[in-house]
Structure 1
Amino acid sequence: MITFALAEAALELVPAEIQKHPAVRRNARRRGKSPGDVLLDVSLHFAAMKSLEGWEKRGRPDIVHTTLLYVLATPLCRKGLMRVYVHTVADLIVEVRPDTRIPKNYQRFVGLMEQLLKEGRVPPKGEALMRVVGSGFSHVLEASQPSFIALLSEKGAPTR
């Protein structure tokens, strides 16, 4: 069994400290939601995000969307031979069932992620396709008990 974990994914709802910013409120009003129920997205909330600590690595749900589309489409995943986890910058662990079909439409994906982060699971009732299973990256390591770990860095050089 192979475990794929996307670490420090920039997936979170708009934090309280920027919910009153005009860019955030405008986007929430347009979508008919409260600012705290909207997914943080740098392409929509850039002006507000600049005041956040570590803003450079936050608000990128598009990366999570693309990654999940590719990973869940692999033959290993389709045969049920892969576990998929997303570890967020807020230190939440999301377990994604291998038979989950991620919407190709980005806006539908955003709606699912908002529901996941608000309710803790998708769908809210019935068998969960995605669910928050805990916090801390150690949860992934304990659940998968790997015999080998490969970490990829943005620097692209071997690390030890």
Structure 2
Amino acid sequence: MLRLIIADAELQTVPENMAKDKAIRNIAEKNHKKPSEMLLDSNYMHTSIERFFPGESNRRGRPDIIYIFLEMAMESILNRDKMLEVYVHTRDNYIIHINSETKLPRSYNRFQGLMEDLFKKRSIEYNGNELLSMKDGNIVPFLKGLDGKTIALSPDGNDSSLSGIISNNNLNVVIGGFSQGDYISDIYGNFPAYKIFNQELTIWSAGMEVISEYERYTKLIK
């Protein structure tokens, strides 16, 4: 089993201190939503994010990169063969589990709505089957509670080939869920970190490479 864990993902609803911002309220009114129940999205809220969190507007509010990653992972051969588990840990210490049978919306707007429902309800079910679940949880204890070997990917990690990293059938791979900066959680203090390319990768390209190598390692594909 390969487990991919996205750590410190910039996936959150609009923080309470931003809910009364005029621009945020205008967006909420246009979409017939409460400000505090909307996903924070820098594509639409960049100026407001910079106003409340100076210097963080290029990192905070990036549900789009989680969307792209999940579309890739859930459609992989590995996931279709029930050999992949995916978790998303957010900066506010929520841990989201995505059932391997979940069919995510093809539309980003519909994905936003799905995540907003999840933050509100903590569980999304269909025909009695829980597709998405959310619980409170610090990433380090969560990772230490998983079976198997745990490693992290980082452009600042030790140089390694993917074939050198993936040498265990029961493997947990941590990937940063942000477009800028570094892990907020104490990943480096608890798990070995590796660099698999000489340039920084997007989370979906890193995830794709790991999944593909694991498929070859397990001989799921040749």
Per-residue deviation at 1:142?
4.2
Distance 1:83 1:77 in 2: 8
> CA contact under 8 A between 1:85 and 1:140: conserved in structure 2?
no
Distance 2:155 2:18 in 1: 28
Per-residue deviation at 1:125?
8.2
Report the equivalent of 1:67: 69
Q: Secondary structure at the match of 2:8?
A: strand
Over 3 Å counting, the alpha-carbon distance change for 1:63 and 1:131 in structure 2 is same
> CA contact under 8 A between 2:47 and 2:57: conserved in structure 1?
no
Specify which structure has the higher proportion of strand.
2
> 1:118 corresponds to which letter in structure 2?
K
Report the equivalent of 1:10: 10
Distance 2:137 2:58 in 1: 22
> 2:28 corresponds to which letter in structure 1?
A
Larger C-alpha radius of gyration, 1 or 2? Answer: 2
Over 3 Å counting, the alpha-carbon distance change for 1:139 and 1:117 in structure 2 is farther
Is residue 2:25 matched to residue 1:25?
yes
Q: Secondary structure at the match of 2:152?
A: coil
Per-residue deviation at 1:69?
0.3
> 1:4 corresponds to which letter in structure 2?
L
Per-residue deviation at 1:155?
4.8
Which moved further from structure 2: 130-139 or 50-59? 50-59
> CA contact under 8 A between 2:42 and 2:62: conserved in structure 1?
yes
Distance 1:135 1:93 in 2: 6
Report the equivalent of 1:52: 53
Per-residue deviation at 1:66?
0.2
Over 3 Å counting, the alpha-carbon distance change for 1:143 and 1:130 in structure 2 is farther
Residue pairs, 1:87-102, within 5 angstroms:
87-102=89-104
Identity of aligned residues (%): 30
Which moved further from structure 2: 19-28 or 133-142? 133-142
Distance 2:33 2:82 in 1: 36
Report the equivalent of 1:83: 85
Which residue among 99, 103, 106 is the counterpart of 1:104?
A: 106
Q: How many residues align?
A: 159
Q: Which runs of 4+ in 1 moved over 4 A?
A: 154-157
Return 5+ residue gaps in structure 1 as ranges.
none
